[in-house]
Homo-oligomer: A and B are copies of this chain.
Amino acid sequence: MTAVAGTAKTLAESAYLRIRDAIRGGALPPGTRLRFAELQDLCGMSVTPVREALTRLTAEGFTTLEENRGYRVAPLSIEELWDIARSRQLIEGEALRLSIAKGGADWEGALVSAHHLMKRIARTTQQAPTVVDEDWNHRHTVFHRSLILACGSPILLSISEGLYDRADRYRRLSWAIPDNPRAIEEEHELIFKSALARDAEAAVTYLRVHYERTAQQVEAFLLNKAQPDVSI
């Protein structure tokens, strides 16, 4: 499970966080059948809050529901990978443009801070994931979010957040790649500097490149290891 624990004010919410993180972290692989009995067990609560959690997760695309036949972890596919990437290019691209146009000193400050914090942790490329990387992942999330935070559109923000979370499941796959040749830090750097310099077009271009490369990398991984548990 990720950082937060005591933040849930309700059992339903805690179940939501637990299950969502289990899905994102890969503990519940794509396609896994989600039986209430097991989830109740996992979360230590009755069926009602678990059900509520799954309803939310389904609305957000993490799980699927066949009525009267149960929930499953939503499958991963190369089509969806690209659909997510393209949609993010469009939506976060515009949000970034707006953010650069509208953001004030406070926005710049938060952005600089987020970028610094992310750079400060060298991503431990060789280690097992879900340990040290969980920390890096959080800072990465904050960085991307702070890029578009000043866009002034709650809707674009919430859509972006949702797509980021969905992309997370794919992104984590690339962590499993032994030696990662990509210079992610550099890509971040380019986006960051352009944004700070208020060069919206450059920043948006670099952001799009960033998502394009991420998708390409994950695609390569999926094509190579055509694992039985990952439905293509």
Binding site for B on A (CB under 8 A): 9-10, 12-13, 48, 51-52, 55-56, 59-60, 67-68, 80, 83-84, 86-87, 90-91, 94, 153-156, 159, 163
Contact = CB atoms under 8 A, between A and B. Distances in A.
Contacts of A56: 55-56, 59
Given A52-B52, A90-B91, A94-B90, A155 B68 contact: no
A147 to B, nearest CB: 17
Contacts of A80: 154-155
A193 B90 CA distance: 26
Contacts of A13: 67
Nearest to A79: B154
26 contacts: A9-B67, A9-B68, A10-B67, A10-B68, A13-B67, A48-B48, A51-B52, A52-B52, A52-B55, A55-B55, A55-B56, A55-B59, A56-B56, A56-B59, A80-B155, A83-B153, A83-B154, A83-B155, A83-B156, A84-B155, A87-B155, A87-B159, A90-B91, A90-B94, A91-B91, A155-B163
Contacts of A52: 51-52, 55
A153 to B, nearest CB: 5
A80 B158 CA distance: 13
